[in-house]
Amino acid sequence: SSFSIRADNQTQVFETPAVDQFLVETDHFADCVRGRSSIALDPLRDAVPNALAIDSIRLAAASGCRVEISQPG
């Protein structure tokens, strides 16, 4: 599978192997619970930016305007 990112009028395409992302995530979670692995992402550093992005998407959809995302702290 592939995905693309567009920034500064340039598009970059990334090719990745197809995987079942939910199976990979569940396996990693099980390994963490069993003490075989550590958490891949800091939940606070990962969750807060995701929540800000989701909130901004909601606000942009409601207003029809572009919404800037500000990082806390």
Supply the pLDDT for residue 42.
Answer: 82
Asked whether residue 72 carries a pLDDT value surpassing 70, the answer given is no
Q: How many CB atoms lie within 10 A of CB 23?
A: 9
Residue with tokens 């500064």: 8
Asked whether residue 65 carries a pLDDT value surpassing 70, the answer given is yes
Structure tokens given for 72: 């806390």
Q: How high is the mean pLDDT of the chain?
A: 88
DSSP 73: -
Evaluate if pTM is beyond 0.75. Answer: no
DSSP 40: S
Listed residue (70, 45, 43) closest to 55, CA to CA: 70
Asked whether residue 57 carries a pLDDT value surpassing 80, the answer given is yes
CA–CA dist 39, 19 (Å, integer): 20
Asked whether residue 35 carries a pLDDT value surpassing 90, the answer given is yes
